[in-house]
Amino acid sequence: MIIESICPKCGEINNVEHKGEDLLFVTCNNKHIYDHIVIPYSRTGGIKDDRRKKLEEMIVEKKFHRMSDKSTICLLIFENGYEIEGRSTVRDMTDFRTIIGKDKAYEQALKKAMVALGAYLV
pLDDT tens-digit readout, 43-86: 434 445 788 888 899 999 999 999 999 999 999 999 988 899 99
Cα(63)–Cα(55) distance, integer angstroms: 16
pLDDT attached to residue 26? 84
Q: What is the pTM of this model?
A: 0.60
pLDDT tens-digit map of 99-121: 888 999 999 999 888 877 776 66
- The single-letter code of the amino acid at 61 is E
pLDDT tens-digit map of 10-19: 777 777 887 7
Among the ranges given (20-24, 36-40, 59-63), the one the predictor scored with the smallest mean pLDDT: 36-40
DSSP-assigned letter for residue 71: E
Helix (H) or strand (E) holding 74: strand 71-78
Going by C-alpha positions, the residue among 53, 1, 42, 51 that lies closest to residue 24 is 1
